[in-house]
Chains A and B, each alone.
With several copies, the nearest count.
Chain A
Amino acid sequence: MKILYFAWVREKTGIASEEISLPDGIGTATQLMDWLSVRGDGFADAFANTDTVRVAINQEHASLDHPVTDSDEVAFFPPVTGG
């Protein structure tokens, strides 16, 4: 699985992207966030308030309870502010 982080989520995790093998038992974006949160303080901080985190799966906006699989590209970021 490819994971990308943008804006202050990226700043807090300290990395822009990574490749991981999705562990057994992780079936949704929320579960993935919970799993990432325990990897260190930066990740814990990034996902401390899930209300402020948005997710895209395979480059489409998705809800936090959306299923994820090992072949997905998943991105975490704050609400967008383009335009």
Chain B
Amino acid sequence: MIRVQLEDFDIGQEIDALTAGNTGIGGICSFMGTVRDMAGGSGADDAVSTMTLEHYPGMTEKALAQIDAEANTRWNLAASLIVHRYGELTPGDRIVLVVTASAHRQDAFEACQFLMDWLKTKAPFWKLEASEDGASWVEARESDDDATARWK
């Protein structure tokens, strides 16, 4: 299941809704990305005041649904969820939630990492960080490309 939304989310409610009634689940892995107060590439002095997430409506939903299906093909999952926010956020705010539920924990852990690595390098989102010094677009990191490459 995937959702792209402006609104915040509650991890407990999301997990409960996703796993309700399915008592074959033995493990639920989740990852939540939050806005850090330090600008991505720069020194610790450059405090972020807001982060604005732009995305490509239409492509985002399509791409997220594809990768969610792919994770369910590769691993034995009872349920999975991707929730990604867009719009203006501030440090500490939740950005993204990935939940994977499985009978066995290894499937849940691997699928969750796969989805996060993929989101970082393929989902059409762009982050604009604003600090006292002005606004700048967060640059993609090579380490994220490397992380995605291991799932080939």
Contact = CB atoms under 8 A, between A and B. Distances in A.
Q: Do A and B bind each other?
A: yes
Interface of A: 4, 6-8, 10, 56, 59-61, 75, 77-83
Contacts of B122: 61, 80
A79 B120 CA distance: 10
Given A59-B58, A75-B56, A83 B125 contact: yes
Given A6-B54, A7-B54, A78-B140, A83 B123 contact: yes
> Main secondary structure on chain B at its contact with chain A?
mixed
7 contacts: A56-B59, A80-B124, A81-B138, A82-B96, A82-B125, A83-B33, A83-B95
Interface of B: 33, 53-56, 58-59, 62-63, 84, 95-96, 116, 119-128, 137-140
A78 B121 CA distance: 11
A59 B66 CA distance: 12
Contact of A6 (B56, B63, B123): B56
Nearest to A8: B137
Contact of B126 (A56, A59, A60, A78): A78
A7 B120 CA distance: 16
B138 to A, nearest CB: 5
Contact of B124 (A6, A8, A10): A6
Contacts of A78: 126, 137, 139-140
